[in-house]
Structures are given as C-alpha cells and as structure tokens.
C-alpha cells in the first residue's frame, strides 16, 4: 500500500548533533543492521564530512570550522529538523549545499552552486550516465532525497521525464526550500511522488525505461534490497530493455581488511543475482575516496566505448569500470 505522509508538528532540535558528522556507517550484514556501533570505514551514501570543531557565530547560526591543516571553508546550518523518518540537516558552504540525514549524518545530496561544475565526484554522477543506455521513456528515482541525481540527469539530458519517489514529505519540503528542488519541478521534467518507492504504486503504464535505486535508512541500505523478492517485483516495473542502476552500499570492515571487495561480499548484489537468474547483471565499486560504494546495473553489459562517447569528459572514463557478474 502506498504510504502517503501527513506533515507532523515538528520541534526543531535545540542543538543538532553536529559533532557526529563523520560518517562511519554500518556494514551490510543483516544481523548487524541494528547495531549502534560503527564498523565500516566507508560511507554507504556518499562522501564523509570530517569531524568539526564548532562555535557560535554572532548571528546565532552554527558554523562548522574544521580543525585540519587545510582548513576547508566553514559550513553554515540552514535548517535542522526532525521528521518521522529522518533527522534532516542542510548545510551551506561557499560552493555547495549538502543534505545530511539520520543520526549517522551521512551525506545524501550535494548541490554544487556553479552551473559549470555540477559534478559531485561520487555515485550520483554514475546515475547520470544511465539515460545513455536505456530506451526512450520515463526514468524513476527511488529515493529522491534532495534531488542530486535528478539535477545531474536533467543537466545532462534536459529532455528527460523523471519521477522521483521519496517517502519523507518533510524532506521534500526542505529540499524545495533550500536545495533547488522546486526549480527542477518548475521545468516540468521532474514529478515528485511522495510515497513508498517499493510499493506497487511506484510504477507507470508501460514501465520505466530506467530505475535508479538509492534507498537508505540510518546510514544503511534498506533491508528489503537484500531480499530477492524485492528485485523480482522491481523487474516488473521496467519496460522492455529497461535497466536498473543501484547504489548497493558497501561491505563489512573485516572483508575490507582482507581485501575482499568482490561483488559476492555485497548482500544486495547477491539478491539481485538470484532475482535476475539467467539474465546479465553488472557491477562496479567506487574508489575509496569516492565512497567505496558498490553499484549494480541490470541488463547486458553495454558497449563501453559507445557509452563513454555519449558522456562528457567528467563521466566518460568511469563507465569502463563496469564488469559482468558471471
């Protein structure tokens, strides 16, 4: 059943837990999902923010000052609220606005202010490559967040029609106010859908040409994405020759320490492999400085040279890292 949210009364936290901005999320193992300890050195949802030192500015706005030698520019808190799904914090730096979610304060969206330098150097850029290898038709983003993937896709492919599914209505309101989501909606190429992306309602007649999946909670990939049935049901939402591209999160720290970064160490990819039995499935892992996230891509491995040539220089190299799962 589709989950439509009403807007609850929210009391903004008196002091957001800013000292926990360092993202050290959980590993993917199901039996560790509820642990309060933090085992993995890699953020599942993007890059990490280093631990800040804080002070109060004269305007009573909290400003983050990093105590590293290279002194990155300070980040101002634009809003910090709590919904029934998330702790939501949006920061502003001189070059970007950043969405942090949950008690882990993982980065879920980055909107760069410079139109000519919109790329994030993380997995959102990978999502923007998907339209080049799918049929004409609507693209779905399951887990819209602050709209980074939609922003990059429409920057590169302005004629796309995108449906962005997000379960947290408060997050959408704040993204419209602070992250430019309303501007994407005004152009008529993005339709925001409030509801459960894994419900039967998250579909269109004839199917989606492509589906981007970026579903996390409390710094962890949704447990449903580690279940075979989820992917069997999602396949039914695609048109013929459509594809799914997925942020699959990471692996447990003990596997990292052993150097075991094969796709089989990722539980979401293992579930996808079973669901797409007899069909091709592809994977890659982002570099450690880009989050070390595993990504999955359904369908035959595209001709990588053709795919690369359809993309700007900033993205053309990365598609050559995709490999088939045998």
Residue 149 phi/psi, 5-degree rounding, is: -60, -45
pLDDT on residue 23: 33
* pLDDT above 80: residue 311: yes
CA dist., res. 199 & res. 227, Å (int) = 15
* pLDDT above 80: residue 193: yes
Please state whether 195 falls in left (phi above 0), alpha (psi between -120 and 50) or beta: left
> Do 211 and 240 meet the contact criterion of CB atoms below 8 Å apart?
no
What mean pLDDT comes out for the span 194-217? 97
* pLDDT above 60: residue 76: yes
pLDDT on residue 142: 98
- Spell out where the chain has E strands: 52-56, 62-66, 75-82, 87-92, 96-101, 106-112, 139-142, 162-166, 190-194, 208-213, 216-217, 220-221, 238-249, 281-285, 294-298, 323-324
> Do 122 and 291 meet the contact criterion of CB atoms below 8 Å apart?
yes
Architecture of domain 116-324: 3-Layer(aba) Sandwich (3.40)
Map out the domains of the chain as residue ranges.
Answer: 20-114, 116-324
Question: Whole-structure pTM over 0.85, yes or no?
Answer: no
Give per-residue pLDDT as tens, 232-284: 999 999 999 999 999 998 765 555 555 556 888 899 999 999 999 889 999 99
Q: Give the residue ranges of DSSP H helices in the chain.
A: 123-127, 148-156, 169-178, 181-186, 228-235, 253-257, 267-275, 304-309, 313-316
pLDDT on residue 255: 56
* pLDDT above 90: residue 111: yes
Length of the chain: 326
* pLDDT above 70: residue 67: no
3-class secondary-structure state, position 44: coil
pLDDT on residue 252: 54
Q: Minimum mean pLDDT among 19-33, 41-55, 126-140: which range? A: 19-33
- Per-chain mean pLDDT for the chain: 80
pLDDT on residue 298: 97
pLDDT on residue 116: 78
* pLDDT above 60: residue 310: yes
CA dist., res. 214 & res. 221, Å (int) = 8
Give per-residue pLDDT as tens, 150-189: 999 999 999 999 999 999 999 999 999 999 999 999 988 9
Angle at which helix 228-235 crosses helix 267-275, to 10 degrees, equals 50
Q: Name the helix (H) or strand (E) containing 261.
A: none
What mean pLDDT comes out for the span 31-36? 27
* pLDDT above 80: residue 72: no
> Following CA atoms 99, 105, 108, 112 in sequence, which dihedral angle do they give, to the nearest 10 degrees?
40
* pLDDT above 60: residue 50: no
CA dist., res. 186 & res. 175, Å (int) = 14
* pLDDT above 60: residue 54: no
Looking at the DSSP assignment, which residues form a beta bridge with residue 54? Answer: 64
pLDDT grade for 137, boundaries at 50, 70 and 90: very high
Q: How far is CA 4 from the centre of its chain?
A: 21
């Amino acid at each position: 059943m589709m989950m439509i949210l009403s807007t609850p009364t929210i009391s903004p936290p008196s002091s957001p837990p800013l000292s926990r901005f360092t993202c050290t999320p959980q590993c993917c193992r199901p039996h560790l999902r509820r642990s309060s300890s933090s085992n993995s050195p890699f953020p599942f949802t993007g890059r990490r923010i280093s631990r800040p030192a804080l002070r109060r500015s004269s305007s009573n706005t909290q400003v983050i000052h990093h105590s590293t030698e290279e002194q990155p520019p300070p980040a101002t808190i634009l809003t910090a609220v709590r919904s029934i799904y998330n702790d939501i914090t949006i920061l502003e730096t001189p070059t970007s606005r950043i969405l942090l979610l949950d008690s882990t304060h993982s980065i879920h969206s980055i909107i760069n202010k410079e139109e000519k330098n919109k790329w994030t150097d993380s997995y959102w850029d990978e999502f923007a490559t998907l339209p080049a290898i799918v049929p004409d038709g609507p693209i779905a983003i399951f887990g819209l967040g602050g709209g980074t993937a939609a922003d990059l896709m429409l920057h590169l492919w302005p004629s796309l029609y995108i449906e962005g599914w997000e379960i947290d209505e408060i997050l959408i309101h704040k993204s419209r106010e602070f992250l430019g989501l309303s501007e994407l909606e005004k152009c008529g190429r993005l339709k925001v859908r409030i509801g459960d992306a894994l419900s039967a309602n998250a579909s269109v007649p004839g199917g989606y040409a492509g589906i981007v999946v970026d579903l996390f909670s409390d710094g962890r990939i949704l447990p449903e994405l580690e279940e075979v049935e989820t992917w069997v049901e999602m396949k039914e939402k695609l048109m013929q020759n459509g594809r799914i591209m997925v942020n699959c999160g990471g692996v447990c720290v003990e596997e990292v320490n052993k150097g075991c970064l094969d796709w089989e160490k990722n539980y979401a990819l293992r579930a996808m492999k079973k669901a797409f039995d007899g069909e091709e499935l592809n994977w890659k892992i982002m570099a450690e400085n880009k989050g070390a996230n595993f990504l999955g891509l359904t369908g035959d491995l595209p001709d990588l040279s053709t795919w690369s040539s359809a993309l700007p220089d900033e993205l053309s190299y990365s598609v050559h890292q995709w490999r088939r799962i045998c």
